[in-house]
Amino acid sequence: MPSSTVENYLKRIYLEQQAEPAGEIVSMKSLAGAMGVTPGTATSMARSLADSRLVAYEPYGGVKLTARGRTLALRVLRRHRLIESFLVDALGLDWSEVHDEAESLEHAISDKLLDRIDEFLGFPSVDPHGDPIPTAAGEVRQAALTALTEVEEGAEVRIARVLDQDEKFLRFVDRHMLRPGTRARVLAHDHAAEAVTLQSGKLPAVTMGRTAAAKIMVELIRG
């Protein structure tokens, strides 16, 4: 059984691989940064994960999950996201506070209990942030989504996923009724100001910067 430290590293490497443009390879610098450890620690963990055949690692060559490492990472991610869903749906916690809780529970819960939770929730495919929940078999069913920055002016969209789990950002999203599932209309792109204006429900329109808009993924509603 992998320790929770190892589980955290694998999950983080998986997420960094998704983010990293450079051929899915994660550098020691970004790994150390993402894990909040010193570079030396990242190096020694990389070697140890490689010894366990969970990552491919060459000195000075960064790190990349093996098939086994990926399977394990997805298992942790599945736990994390099912737990988040459960905390929101069954216990009424706010979606802005479940992340930290899931971060520790993901290592403590048994397979049996996880299955029970999955069943209780009706086998959801996304968590409260719109993040896809990997299947028990290790598949990620990812819908094709568009970043808010890429949507044409005037288009109707459905918010599908919020990529930043930071409490402040999630509360901002909340305030303007932009949770996953909500409809909204893109009113304008101001390229000079690097800003996007959109409008949801009966609320006044809101203008946000490119960087914020890039963290909101949507589905286009044809029409």
Partner DNA sequence: TAATATATTTTGATTAGTCAAAAATCCCTG
Partner DNA sequence: CAGGGATTTTTGACTAATCAAAATATATTA
Based on the shown chain and the rule CB under 7 A, indicate whether residue 38 belongs to the binding site for DNA. yes
Binding residue count for DNA, defined by CB under 7 A: 24
Based on the shown chain and the rule CB under 7 A, indicate whether residue 44 belongs to the binding site for DNA. yes
How far apart are alpha carbons 154 and 123 in whole angstroms?
Answer: 35
Based on the shown chain and the rule CB under 7 A, indicate whether residue 27 belongs to the binding site for DNA. yes
Structure tokens at 120: 């209780």
59 binds, options a copy of itself, Mn ion, DNA, none, Cβ within 5 to 8 A by partner type: DNA
How far apart are alpha carbons 64 and 87 in whole angstroms?
Answer: 32
Cβ atoms of residues 196 and 148 within 8 Å? yes
Q: 3-state class of 61 per DSSP?
A: coil
40 binds, options DNA, a copy of itself, Mn ion, none, Cβ within 5 to 8 A by partner type: DNA
131 binds, options a copy of itself, Mn ion, DNA, none, Cβ within 5 to 8 A by partner type: Mn ion
List of residues contacting Mn ion (CB under 5 A): 8, 84, 103, 127, 129, 131
Q: Residue 111 is which amino acid?
A: D
Cβ atoms of residues 81 and 131 within 8 Å? yes
Cβ atoms of residues 160 and 145 within 8 Å? yes
127 binds, options DNA, a copy of itself, Mn ion, none, Cβ within 5 to 8 A by partner type: Mn ion
Locus of tokens 């929770």: 4
For Mn ion, give the closer residue by CB, 30 or 96.
Answer: 96
Rounded to a whole number of angstroms, the minimum distance from the CB of residue 8 to Mn ion is 5
For a copy of itself, give the closer residue by CB, 64 or 99.
Answer: 99
Count of Cβ atoms closer than 10 Å to residue 151 Cβ = 21
141 binds, options Mn ion, DNA, a copy of itself, none, Cβ within 5 to 8 A by partner type: none
List of residues contacting a copy of itself (CB under 8 A): 87, 90-93, 97, 100-101, 104-105, 107-110, 112-113, 116-117, 120
Residue 177's contacts (CB-CB under 8 Å, 6 or more residues apart) are: 184, 200, 201, 203
90 binds, options a copy of itself, DNA, Mn ion, none, Cβ within 5 to 8 A by partner type: a copy of itself
List binders of DNA among 59-118 (CB under 7 A).
Answer: 59-62
Based on the shown chain and the rule CB under 7 A, indicate whether residue 181 belongs to the binding site for DNA. no
CA triplet 135, 179, 183: central angle to 5 degrees? 105
State which of residues 19, 22, 40, 108 lies at the interface with DNA (CB under 7 A): 40
Locus of tokens 């991610």: 77
Count of Cβ atoms closer than 10 Å to residue 190 Cβ = 11
Based on the shown chain and the rule CB under 7 A, indicate whether residue 36 belongs to the binding site for DNA. yes
